[in-house]
Chain A
Amino acid sequence: MADSRVASRYVKSLLGLAVEKQALEQVHADMELFAGTCKAHPEFALMLKSPIIRHEKKRAILNGLLKGKVNVLTLAFVDIITQKNREPLLQSISQEFHHAYNEYKGIEQARVTTTIPMDPQIRKEVEAIVRKLTTKSNIELVEKVDPSLVGGFVLGVGDKLVDASVKNKLRNLKVKFS
């Protein structure tokens, strides 16, 4: 997260420009694609961060990968980043962009962890809880399944956390009785 400050600077200008050129959705999709690629292929992310591979080489790779598949604005942005030798930042920029996009669109991201995948009925109930916790109109649910919770759920919205898992309750009891 040390480079999040630098990344947020780049993201701010990219977001502003994208809004101006009315290409926000496309750029967002591109950034999501990039973040997804980095996550799916760790060696790709490692390559970007590697100091051994020369910048021109990385630039050529990125160009070859992205040309024709992404918006011109995104391509130009990636180009500028590589020119400034900041490719290691690209992954955190793509993550940071998602946050900035949510902020701009008024979307609240909520993280839900449950023991089994949620059905639509429960999902609706969780959304209702999230709505109480936030002032923003749109909600994006990030779901995660973790059987080690035993039961219940953990819901995180921004800095706030509701831990209604059995695991947490057991832990609290243990602290209380020890």
Chain B
Amino acid sequence: MAEIRPEEVSAILREQLAQSRTAAELEEVGTVLTVGDGVARIYGLTKAQAGELLRFENGLTALVLNLEEDNVGAVLFGDSKSVREGDTVKRTGQIASIKVGEGLLGRVVDMLAAPIDGKGPVLGDLYEMPLERKAPGVIYRQPVNEPLQTGIKAIDSMIPIGRGQRELIIGDRQTGKTAVAIDTIINQKEFYERGKPVYCIYVAIGQKASTVASVASTLEKAGAMPYTIIVAANASDPAPMQFFAPFTGAAIGEFFRDTGRPALVIYDDLSKQAVSYREVSLLLRRPPGREAYPGDIFYLHSRLLERAAKVINDDGVAKNMNDLPASIKHLVKGGGSLTALPIIETQANDVSAYIPTNVISITDGQIFLESNLFNSGIRPAINVGISVSRVGGSAQIKSMKKVAGTLKLDQAQFRELEAFSKFGSDLDASTKLTIERGRRNTEVLKQPQYAPVPVEEQVAVILASTKGYMDKVPVGKVREFEKEFIGLLRAQHKAVLENLRVGKLDDADTETLKKVAVELASKY
């Protein structure tokens, strides 16, 4: 066994002591004029740049946000109680950045990417990534062409999301917005197990610490933590840390994106971020605009969401990407993607408020969740009528595209006719059929929380429903039928499912599915 000799320890310490620079350096300093509410005004620092990091004597950091005639406004990344009037502040000459690496996977970190889950320091190679970074330019991108499977039937079939897309999840409180996001993370387990993980980053902004803890434990239980990072800026954290947390998430996502891997980042939620940005802006005395938000609130969200991208599948081009941080230059690969799922909470279903309209216009589509649907038992409570995905259609796998076209049409007709059905029974046969099939489709699209469905099973069930193979099944038994149907397929027709998974849907497969479904339906 190796022995530790105390002389060695003191020799090492001595060596380190000798290495420490003792020469006095010229520093640029300023003095704190006022401090409070997480904002400090500093006199001096005439050369400080906007976005630069400052350091106080006690090691606390701050970020320059305002440059004024006679002072500098900075936000503190920590407790403002430890800073006093008259303290000296040093320039660091650096912009705000975090250290990112594979070691972050499975961890819960704060806005500065420091672990807060009590599992010790982050291990492995870490790379410096700037918080604020320009989005990739036009020539470094390519159109969305791969699907991001959420495992939610209503979304994957009718509002498909592609890797690199920005899809907004919007709805009132208690409509299952976070549930959609968490289900999506859990569904990526399939890809993790197959060795092609989609790295997930869940950014919790201004939430209760208990809520974040329960999300972490849910993911842990579902086995989703090994490919997931949680960035948490809790309600008790200072406002600057809350509004910078999404940027931390984006910086972590960019690390995976630029090294050629797919990543998914969830901002839960951006309305709280907007509120904390408004707080900081008002404290910095920036002029308030509509709903007292500052003028650049749109830019805050647009520059954040622009960073979601599908990077061109060409290493040579990707290597020249704009604003690449020096630390990861040697690792850059093409073909990576960063998908963003921002969440916005509305008040009383009002999507025409300031922040919702802003974010709707920035994103490539939105998923509307409604409380009346939720209460009538349609969960996930997605209003498919007004939910859209502007680019995801091109990313859908072929088999799903085939069945989803009919489903969309059927559901649209069903919604039109549903109102009539309430008047009674004197409807013609075709109308009746549309309504009955619509009811079954609606039933098929329901699914419980934390139970994402693999895409091949989605295709099989939706096919059975839209082709009318389960018309004989009573509406109340549809869920039961679905369960049994999938069970049968899994047990006896693995090859068909595998075909569906890779996107093939030929006549023979359709025939097999029909046979199984009709046979099963006749038992009900």
Q: A interface vs B, CB < 8 Å?
A: 1-2, 4-5, 8, 133, 152, 156, 158-164, 168-169, 172-173, 175-177
Contact = CB atoms under 8 A, between A and B. Distances in A.
A175 B46 CA distance: 27
B24 interface: yes
B24 A159 contact: no
Given A1-B33, A1-B71, A161 B20 contact: no
B29 A156 contact: yes
B69 interface: yes
Nearest to B90: A161
Given A1-B33, A175-B59, A161 B88 contact: yes
A155 B284 CA distance: 31
Interface string B76-92: 00000000000010000
A160 B27 CA distance: 5
B29 A5 contact: no
Interface string B185-221: 0000000000000000000000000000000000000
Interface in B455-484: none
18 contacts: A1-B33, A1-B41, A1-B43, A1-B70, A5-B69, A5-B70, A160-B27, A160-B28, A161-B26, A161-B29, A162-B24, A163-B27, A164-B24, A169-B22, A172-B20, A173-B17, A177-B13, A177-B16
A127 B70 CA distance: 28
Nearest to A176: B20
Interface residues of B, number: 25
A155 to B, nearest CB: 9
Contacts of B45: 159
B30 interface: yes
Nearest to B30: A159
B47 interface: yes
B44 interface: yes
Contacts of A168: 24
**A4, A159, A160: most-surrounded residue (chain B CB, <10 A):** A159
A90 B24 CA distance: 39
A2 B73 CA distance: 13
A35 B471 CA distance: 94
Nearest to A164: B24
Contacts of A133: 26
Contact of B47 (A1, A156, A159, A161): A159
